[in-house]
């Protein structure tokens, strides 16, 4: 079954009109604190649908936040002409959150502009490709870790971080060698940045691995060097380092091309060879579900598969025409969210359902999706 969500939310009058919603009573005869305990076991969609007071409770800061879809977006490809035959690089990147309960998109607060914030997606010197903007989620934070400026330099000297529950942006610890692209991922609430390419190639950077531990107090945050790679082959592309069961797994080339894989053992601070079956089936974007299972989409066949470590093989979950040309995926809360059709749609697959269920979420009008993530909703004091 496929469900299509409309491109933009349309404003409308609220259909609910009842006395309880006017006076704010949650459950008649019970104080609000006890009523909230009773209602916390209900699904968010039910709370949203019944009455005003329950809906206000659902979006109140005191109620446990439900999970939402977060997206990095850029304008649809339409180069801006400044002068005849002169194309201006497009640098506008925006951040939105999709509320699955109200089926509406909401912009995130603007990132800090000091230092100047420009993440380039397209440049006239690279007409056939998009420049990467790398992001990940760690400990319920959205982190942008690597991107490119209009002058083709690294855009971020420190990771840019958004915390949904406090609704604020801030910068993480300074990166020793800022990158335009790298292998980036997380495991056990620790951010890892491996290899990469800065303003120019540097062998020591291309072989490096650094970690930033978000488990530490903020005043103790910093990047720590870990065991380096044997060579610089992972500096060619922006790739995901997928955390699963205490290890980081990555391949050095995207898509169906011939590639090499590597596995970093977090506990032993040691690099290992990737199993043959794992690297052979890693033919598209990958992500882990709760750092317990790895999923990958074959971007040519549109096949979503899950890795079986005991048999060293990929097990098919579902194959869909809509998943062909998938460019990025995120996993969370039992769902795989895939960016496909050159960023013009998001396909959500519920891998817990039998048979597997999927539906489509359209991005905000005039924008295409760069990446998606699953995080708790932003706190809203009014809804």
Which residues, listed in sequence order, are joined to residue 375 by a DSSP beta bridge? 68
Q: Is residue 163 predicted with pLDDT exceeding 50?
A: yes
Residues 279, 258: Cα–Cα separation, whole Å: 10
> How many domains is the chain partitioned into structurally?
1
Residue-number span of the structural domain to which 279 is assigned: 67-376
> Per-residue pLDDT for 217 more than 70?
yes
Structure tokens that stand for 99 in this block? 């509320």
CATH code, domain with 261: 2.120.10.80
Question: By percentage, how much of the chain surpasses pLDDT 70?
Answer: 87
Higher pLDDT: 382 or 244? It is 244
User: What is the 8-class DSSP label of residue 218?
Assistant: G
Biggest CA pair distance of the chain: 72
The edge-to-edge listing of strands for the beta sheet with 4-5 is: 4-5, 357-361, 345-350, 335-340, 328-332
> Residue 351: CB partners within 8 Å, gap ≥ 6?
289, 295, 304, 306, 317, 334, 335, 336
The answer to the question of residue 21 being in a domain is: no
Concatenated DSSP letters of 368-379: EEEEEEEEEPPP
Does residue 241 carry a pLDDT above 80? Answer: yes
Indicate the length of the chain as a whole number. 383
The pLDDT confidence band at residue 89, using thresholds 50, 70 and 90, is: very low
Four-residue CA torsion sign, 16, 19, 23, 27: negative
Does the residue 367 lie in any domain? yes
CB 256 within 8 A of CB 300: yes
pTM of the shown model: 0.88
The CA-CA-CA angle for residues 158, 206, 286, to 5°, reads: 75
194-200-203 Cα angle (round to 5): 50
Residue 301, CA atoms < 13 Å, CB-side half-sphere: 14
Mean pLDDT value across residues 369-373? 97
Mean pLDDT on 319-328? 96
Residue 358 included in any domain? yes
Q: What is the mean pLDDT of the chain?
A: 88
- Cβ proximity of 201 and 188 under 8 Å: no
Position 59 in a domain: no
Given a cut of 70, whether residue 126 has pLDDT beyond it is no
| Least confident span in 1-5, 104-108, 138-142, 282-286 | 1-5
Query: Domain for residue 247, yes or no?
Result: yes
Q: CB-side exposure of 313: number of CA atoms within 13 Å? A: 4
Q: Is 31 part of any domain? A: no
Q: Name the one residue in this structure whose structure tokens are 């903020």.
A: 218
Give the DSSP H/E element, type plus range, for residue 18. Answer: none
pLDDT attached to residue 92 = 72
């Amino acid at each position: 079954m496929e469900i299509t969500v409309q491109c933009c939310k349309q404003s409308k009058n609220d259909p609910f009109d009842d006395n309880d919603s006017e006076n704010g009573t949650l459950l008649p005869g019970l104080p609000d604190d006890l009523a909230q305990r009773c209602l916390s076991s209900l699904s968010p969609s039910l709370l949203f649908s019944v009455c005003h007071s329950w809906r206000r409770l659902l979006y109140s800061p005191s109620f446990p936040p439900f999970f939402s879809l977060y997206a990095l977006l850029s304008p649809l490809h339409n180069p801006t002409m400044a002068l005849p035959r002169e194309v201006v690089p497009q640098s506008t990147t925006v951040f939105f959150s999709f509320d699955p309960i109200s089926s509406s998109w909401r912009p995130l607060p603007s990132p800090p502009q000091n230092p100047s914030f420009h993440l380039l997606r397209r440049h006239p010197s690279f007409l056939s490709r998009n420049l990467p903007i790398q992001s990940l989620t760690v400990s319920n934070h959205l982190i942008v870790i690597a991107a490119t400026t209009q002058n083709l330099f690294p855009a971020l000297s420190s990771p840019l971080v958004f915390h949904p529950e406090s609704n604020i942006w801030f910068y993480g610890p300074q990166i020793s060698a800022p990158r335009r692209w790298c292998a980036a991922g997380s495991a056990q609430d620790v951010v890892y940045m491996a290899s990469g390419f800065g303003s120019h190639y540097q062998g020591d950077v291309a072989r490096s691995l650094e970690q930033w531990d978000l488990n530490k107090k903020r005043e103790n945050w910093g990047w720590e060097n870990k065991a380096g790679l044997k060579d610089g082959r992972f500096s060619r592309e922006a790739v995901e380092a997928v955390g699963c069961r205490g290890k980081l797994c990555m391949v050095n080339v995207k898509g169906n091309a011939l590639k090499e894989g590597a596995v970093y053992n977090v506990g032993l601070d040691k690099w290992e060879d990737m199993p043959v079956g794992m690297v052979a089936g890693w033919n598209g974007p990958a992500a882990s579900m709760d750092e317990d299972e790895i999923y990958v989409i074959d971007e040519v066949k549109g096949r979503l598969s899950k890795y079986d470590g005991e048999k060293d093989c990929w097990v098919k979950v579902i194959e869909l025409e809509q998943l062909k040309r998938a460019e990025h995926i995120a996993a969370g809360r039992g769902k795989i969210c895939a960016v496909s059709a050159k960023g013009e749609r998001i396909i959500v697959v519920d891998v817990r359902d039998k048979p597997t269920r999927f539906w489509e979420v359209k991005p905000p009008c005039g924008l295409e999706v760069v990446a998606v993530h699953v995080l708790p909703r932003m706190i809203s004091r009014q809804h």
